[in-house]
Chains A and B, each alone.
Chain A
């Protein structure tokens, strides 16, 4: 083998160049631009004007910013709890073979095939208080007039549930794949030791799924912090501002009010928060260490 070919076989800078170029063009450059715009007043029509820290000072005075930030945190926490609580057991259950499970799995994964817009429109129709399902089921759960998305107490729960409905199948899929990878010997050994189903689930399945729980958690956290299309179509942040999460606040400020400067400041906050949260999860959980859970196998 000649020296030239052996060098070509090694990963060099040229190999990452295309990916780097794409990343720079579609991720880094927009990030730099949005940071720049956050220091300007810009309506899209007139050239951006440097206003220093004005937009950043406005964050403190904008009651909608604080409200939308808390709503986003709330959405993230609720989504994580709900989606994990459903996807983990469901994924583990679907991991075992069987015709019933296969058929049910195919049905559970249907939302994965639908676009966010279609899901939001579908649920908007189902949640119509007069002609939709909300009018029929509402009275059974104490909402006599079926007013779910028009009620500031229930609208947020509806958003969490619809987003959960959309993404749970994906996380179920992650858990299903991960559960199938758990060595069967562990279960055999546990059975010999007399462990029951619950004990096996808690002591073997969950610890073995640790990395998947973290991966799925990071995806849910980052996804919930930045999601917005379902909320835009389903409630448009309403009633009033009851579901105006941070990304939606950013969108409405930028593309409805044409206040791009302040919207850019909101975007930077989102960017920093999303990154910080996922780093925090990785650090707290020790995900980075990639410690093996299969020592001795």
Chain B
């Protein structure tokens, strides 16, 4: 059997160990193949359903997985999970939800949870006279003003890639309109983009832009070459909204910053009067493994996923690499290692979140996601008004 996954040196070792353990049992043998991100997406798109289809494939859940499910290419794992409640109950429901399409489970979480959080430079905050990270939107706007008054760009934004810009409206929409607003959009309900909460969230984004919260040259700042992280760590900017991978990435590129204890983190603030629960998180619930319909031995592939993705060795291996799996009962395990504090924060935040909304670009069908990213960049550059954004997305979603 073939298993396709993304190339990632640290994680691939853990995955290989899981495969080796399974193969040693003497049953069907699994071969691990790794791909780079962009080539993988097109390779998978054309391979699934063809004779070259992998048996088990890595995916992003949500709209990405939905395409394969609707083409009838993915094995329904609901029955297999229900038959083993002791395993099913280990998955955090809000994480497993990312691999669930129309009430049926098609993807098993296989990697750490990646909720978005605010990361800030404690030193900059102290100099600006800000004692604690704000928990309300009004407090957040005051913080932006204080940082500006201290001569610092309040927020680092890698706007050359619009997925970093997307994080603001997706958090704000959840806070303002509640999780169900975007859920309706992701479900493709007609007119869902027209919810007034979308205009409200986009208006709040443009208010931040007008306020100079992101400085002026954010559209030229790249995330992949660590330009926005350099702003944060050098003290030229105060904070950055990013997924939980930010900490391992900062550790790789700016270890001194972490050693000096300057990195702070906090949940995205609550919005006064908003419908959303401020404990809700947004981001990548996990990545998933799915079993293709054409697999010669779907039961064995399913067995591999259920037993190995929850095995103590796999979970510990993932935690050692800075990944926090979306499973229950890890409270003690996450309290160890270099990232103990942050991993505990991530784990608690995810576990206690009533909902875990998937990143918009992964929850939406590919074409709609691309249009959304382009239009969002235009909202940030003031080329589209919030109302025009809504009109454009309403058209694109039909």
Give the B-binding residues of A (Cβ under 8 A). Answer: 43-46, 121, 124-125, 127-131, 134, 145-152, 235-241, 252, 255-259
Q: Is the CB of B161 within 8 A of A236?
A: yes
Q: Is B219 an interface residue (CB 8 A)?
A: yes
Distance between Cα atoms of A247 and B366 in the complex (Å): 19
Which of A44, A121, A150, A240 contacts B220 (CB under 8 A)? A150
Distance between Cα atoms of A240 and B161 in the complex (Å): 10
Distance between Cα atoms of A295 and B73 in the complex (Å): 70
Residue in B49, B162, B222, B383 whose Cβ sees the most chain A Cβ within 10 Å:
B222
Q: Is the CB of A239 within 8 A of B374?
A: no
Q: Is B377 an interface residue (CB 8 A)?
A: yes
Q: Within B209-225, which residues are at the interface with A (CB < 8 Å)?
A: 215-222, 225
Q: Is the CB of B48 within 8 A of A45?
A: yes
B42 cross-chain contacts in A, Cβ below 8 A: 44, 255
Q: Is the CB of B49 within 8 A of A147?
A: no
Which of B49, B219, B231, B366 contacts A239 (CB under 8 A)? B219
A43-B67, A258-B366 known; A128 vs B45 contact (CB < 8 Å): no
Which of B41, B217, B371, B381 contacts A145 (CB under 8 A)? B217
**Who on chain A is nearest to B72 by CB?**
A46
Chain A at the B interface: SS class: loop
9 A-B pairs with least C-beta separation: A150-B219, A150-B220, A147-B217, A129-B217, A257-B367, A44-B45, A145-B217, A240-B378, A239-B219
Q: Is B68 an interface residue (CB 8 A)?
A: yes
Q: Is the CB of B160 within 8 A of A235?
A: yes
A256 cross-chain contacts in B, Cβ below 8 A: 366, 370
Q: Is the CB of B220 within 8 A of A148?
A: yes
B220 cross-chain contacts in A, Cβ below 8 A: 127-129, 134, 146-151, 239
B218 cross-chain contacts in A, Cβ below 8 A: 150
Q: Is the CB of B374 within 8 A of A131?
A: no
Chain B at the A interface: SS class: helix
Q: Smallest Cβ distance from B215 to chain A, in angstroms?
A: 7
Instruction: Fill in one digit per residue for B154-171: 1 if any A CB lies within 8 Å of its CB, else 0.
Output: 000001111000000000
Q: Is B296 an interface residue (CB 8 A)?
A: no
Q: Is the CB of B221 within 8 A of A258?
A: no
Q: Is the CB of B378 within 8 A of A45?
A: no
Give the A-binding residues of B (Cβ under 8 A). Answer: 38, 41-42, 45-46, 48-49, 67-68, 71, 73, 159-162, 215-222, 225, 227, 230-231, 236, 366-367, 369-371, 374, 377-378, 381, 383
Q: Smallest Cβ distance from A18 to chain B, in angstroms?
A: 29
Distance between Cα atoms of A279 and B290 in the complex (Å): 51
Q: Is the CB of B225 within 8 A of A124?
A: yes
Q: Is the CB of B383 within 8 A of A152?
A: yes
Q: Smallest Cβ distance from A248 to chain B, in angstroms?
A: 12
Q: Is the CB of B225 within 8 A of A125?
A: yes
Q: A127-B220, A152-B381 are in contact. List 13 more A-B contacts (CB 8 A).
A: A44-B46, A45-B68, A45-B71, A128-B222, A147-B216, A149-B220, A152-B383, A236-B160, A256-B370, A257-B369, A257-B370, A258-B67, A259-B367
Distance between Cα atoms of A121 and B227 in the complex (Å): 13
Q: Smallest Cβ distance from B394 to chain A, in angstroms?
A: 16
Q: Smallest Cβ distance from B385 to chain A, in angstroms?
A: 14
Q: Smallest Cβ distance from B43 to chain A, in angstroms?
A: 10
A236 cross-chain contacts in B, Cβ below 8 A: 160-161
Distance between Cα atoms of A205 and B68 in the complex (Å): 62
Which of B68, B227, B378 contacts A131 (CB under 8 A)? B227
Distance between Cα atoms of A148 and B48 in the complex (Å): 42
Distance between Cα atoms of A150 and B219 in the complex (Å): 4
A152-B383, A258-B366 known; A45 vs B217 contact (CB < 8 Å): no
17 CB < 8 A contacts A-B: A44-B45, A45-B71, A46-B49, A124-B222, A124-B225, A129-B220, A130-B217, A131-B227, A145-B216, A147-B220, A148-B220, A149-B219, A150-B219, A150-B220, A240-B378, A256-B370, A257-B366
A152 cross-chain contacts in B, Cβ below 8 A: 381, 383
Q: Is the CB of B46 within 8 A of A46?
A: no
B73 cross-chain contacts in A, Cβ below 8 A: 45
Distance between Cα atoms of A146 and B220 in the complex (Å): 9
A131 cross-chain contacts in B, Cβ below 8 A: 227, 230
Q: Is the CB of A241 within 8 A of B216?
A: no
Q: Smallest Cβ distance from A121 to chain B, in angstroms?
A: 8
Distance between Cα atoms of A237 and B160 in the complex (Å): 10
**Who on chain B is nearest to A257 by CB?**
B367
A45-B45, A128-B221, A149-B160 known; A239 vs B370 contact (CB < 8 Å): no
**Who on chain A is nearest to B377 by CB?**
A240
**Who on chain A is nearest to B73 by CB?**
A45
